[in-house]
């Protein structure tokens, strides 16, 4: 809803063009980071960089620096999203985390901010970062590796980076993949699948752009085994045919002759 509100307040006469909607889908903004990370970084700067996880000392200074440089997106080139992803798995359980709790009368703008005045919350925020660093170190994931190297699928030995991330962390472009030791977030198990943006031209014909993120075929030998996955990775779409002329121009014909 926040992203929709931004478009509505843009002042454009016709704000919801297909291109604008496509941009919302593919901007890969981490809204959780947008409403929390400034406060998290402030806590990082004010507290000791040494935290204890299972009685082991963890230095989170580098993690905080990476988060400070992170673009708060989960694009292919974003660096640091893996820290926030693991951080949130713990931090979402912190009691009284938010400075402004959810308000049913203001659902678009709440909750927001970290309850920095609460010393227990501050301690648990730091421990959540420490837990993230510990987990990523244990699974051999580099803290500032670009997201395309961390979250991906393998298609015929080709590594295809997948943008997006966990919906629970504030990602509209939802992608769910387990953290696999020595590999990263792979394979992708759920999330964005079939996506389409549709409008109509002046003649009443649909103008439909779409993508099937996992591609059309499950057969590795097929040319359609990874084609749309690559397009999704690059933020591209396909134009769906509708009129007879469009269908005919896009038609794939295959004739197989079998002799006995």
List, for residues 143-154, the tens digit of each pLDDT value: 999 999 999 999
- Last-in-domain residue among 152, 171, 190: 190
Share of the chain above pLDDT 70, in %: 98
Residues 172 and 203 in one domain: no
Task: Give the residue-averaged pLDDT of 49-75.
Answer: 97
Identify whether residues 125 and 205 lie together within a single domain: no
User: Residue 224: its pLDDT value, please?
Assistant: 94
Assign residue 129 the CATH number of its domain.
1.10.1400.10
pLDDT band (50, 70, 90) for residue 75 = very high
Does a structural domain hold residue 259? no
First to last CA, the chain: 62
pLDDT reported for residue 151: 98
- 51 vs 247 pLDDT, higher one: 51
User: How confident is the prediction for the chain on average, in pLDDT?
Assistant: 93
Does residue 55 sit within a domain? Answer: yes
> 211 is written with which tokens?
């993508």
Query: Residue 253 has what pLDDT?
Result: 67
Q: In sequence order, which ranges of 110-204 are alpha helices (DSSP H)?
A: 119-138, 147-150
Residues 66-72: what's their mean pLDDT?
98
Alpha-carbon distance 48 to 67, whole Å? Answer: 16
Residues 72 and 90 in one domain: yes
Let me know whether 181 and 80 are in one domain: yes
Q: What is the pTM of this model?
A: 0.90
Same domain, 140 and 213: no
pLDDT (mean) for 154-168: 96
Domain membership flag for residue 256: no
Nearest one of 23, 1, 25, 6 to 164, comparing CA atoms:
25
Structure-token pair, residue 196: 């389409």
User: 216 and 127 in one domain?
Assistant: no
Dihedrals φ, ψ of 163, to 5°?
Answer: -75, 170
Q: CA geometry: angle at 195 spanning 192 and 196, to 5°?
A: 165
Same domain, 226 and 128: no
Token pair belonging to 138:
């244990």
Query: Does residue 200 share a domain with residue 127?
Result: no
| Shared-domain flag, residues 23 and 97 | yes
Q: What is the pLDDT of residues 83-104, one digit of tens each?
A: 999 999 999 999 999 999 999 9
Identify the pLDDT of residue 8. 81
| pLDDT for 259 beyond 80 | no
Total structural domains within the chain? 2
Closest among 110, 89, 88 to 35, alpha carbons compared: 110
Contacts of 102 (CB under 8 A, 6+ apart): 110, 111
Contact 238, 250 (CB under 8 A): no
Residue 78 has pLDDT above 70, yes or no: yes
Q: What's the whole-number mean pLDDT along residues 155-172?
A: 95
Q: What is the mean pLDDT of residues 194-216?
A: 93
Cis before residue 187, ω within 30 degrees of 0? yes
Residue 257 lies in a domain: no
Same domain as 158, residue 97: yes
Q: Containing domain of residue 162, as a range?
A: 2-190
Q: Is 209 part of any domain?
A: yes
pLDDT surpassing 70 at residue 255: no
100 and 157 co-located in one domain = yes
- Pick from 162, 190, 218: which residue ends a domain? 190
Give the per-residue pLDDT at 254: 65
pLDDT band at 170 (very low <50, low <70, confident <90, very high): confident
> Helix or strand or coil: residue 129?
helix
> Biggest alpha carbon distance in the chain?
82
At 245 the pLDDT is 85
- The answer as to whether 222 is a domain residue is yes
Lowest mean pLDDT segment, chosen from 3-7, 31-35, 119-123, 149-153: 3-7
Q: Is residue 146 part of a domain?
A: yes
DSSP letter for 173, please: S
| Residue 135 sits in the same domain as residue 29 | yes
d(CA 29, CA 168): 13
- Does the residue 17 lie in any domain? yes
Q: How far is CA 19 from the centre of its chain?
A: 19
Domain end position, chosen among 148, 175, 190: 190
What residues contact 89, with CB distance under 8 A and at least 6 apart?
A: 131, 132
The whole-number pLDDT of residue 260 equals 64
Q: Is the pLDDT of residue 29 over 90?
A: yes
């Amino acid at each position: 809803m926040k992203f929709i509100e931004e478009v509505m307040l843009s002042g454009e006469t016709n704000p919801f063009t297909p291109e604008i909607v496509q941009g919302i889908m593919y901007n890969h903004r981490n809204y959780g980071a947008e409403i929390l990370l400034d406060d998290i970084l402030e806590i990082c700067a004010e507290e000791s960089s040494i935290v204890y996880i299972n009685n082991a000392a963890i230095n989170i200074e580098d993690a905080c620096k990476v988060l400070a440089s992170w673009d708060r997106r989960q694009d292919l080139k974003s660096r640091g999203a893996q820290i926030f992803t693991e951080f949130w798995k713990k931090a979402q359980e912190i009691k009284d985390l938010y400075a402004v709790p959810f308000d049913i009368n203001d659902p678009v703008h709440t909750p927001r901010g970290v309850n920095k005045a609460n010393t227990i919350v501050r301690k648990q925020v730091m421990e959540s970062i420490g837990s993230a660093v510990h987990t990523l170190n244990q699974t051999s994931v580099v803290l500032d590796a670009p997201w395309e190297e961390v979250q991906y699928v393998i298609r015929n030995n080709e590594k295809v980076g997948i943008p997006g991330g966990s919906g629970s962390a504030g990602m509209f472009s939802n992608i769910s993949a387990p953290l696999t030791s020595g590999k990263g977030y792979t394979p992708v198990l759920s999330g964005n699948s079939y996506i389409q943006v549709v409008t109509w031209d002046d003649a009443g014909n649909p103008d439909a752009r779409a993508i099937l993120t996992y591609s059309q075929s499950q057969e590795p030998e097929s040319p359609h085994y990874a084609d749309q996955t690559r397009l999704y990775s690059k933020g591209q779409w396909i134009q769906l045919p509708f009129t007879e002329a469009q269908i005919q121009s896009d038609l794939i014909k295959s004739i197989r002759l079998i002799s006995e």
